Structure 1
């Protein structure tokens, strides 16, 4: 069995961890994939041995995703309504798929960013 070695984040590495997480890479080395599936975290980094499963994102990524998507969709809906007064079906055909696509696209990088931030701040579960 392979023993994991812990990579201590260097001082000032918060941005590094955040950016590596957004790219869905290991926050420790930036080489290996952080997820084995859509948002399933790999237990250990195969390149550097970082125990990535020790960083629990839990409810933060969905919360941040809802926050971002809401700040994109709601102003868009209001602007569309004020400028063009479209039929309700136009709103449904526009904003339901937009909300779904934005949510699915943003959740993995946001979860990666949360894990990268936890790594940089040494916040293990």
Structure 2
């Protein structure tokens, strides 16, 4: 996720994320704990292998548009014994300019709300 570090990251406003592995598994619902233009970090009850391709749907709070649909690859997975769940890093793949714009707009809006004391 090298390009993600050159942009602001949102780590204090969790998002709901639904992720799917292929067509044979039902979608799992979880939340993020860090997100940027290049990818996200999320919690998961399941251990996911590095390189695993995912389809993602992000619920951008306050955005009236449908969930943001992205694809990504698992980059790392670690079990967190304190939380009893896995922490997973996902790098976005094949982002369109529209997806980038929507994601950056959301992150910027959340920063503004935090600066105003709303969050």
User: TM-score normalized by structure 1?
Assistant: 0.27
User: TM-score normalized by structure 2?
Assistant: 0.28
Instruction: Give the structure, 1 or 2, with the largest relative contact order (CA under 8 Å, sep 6 or more).
Output: 1
The structure number with the bigger radius of gyration is 1
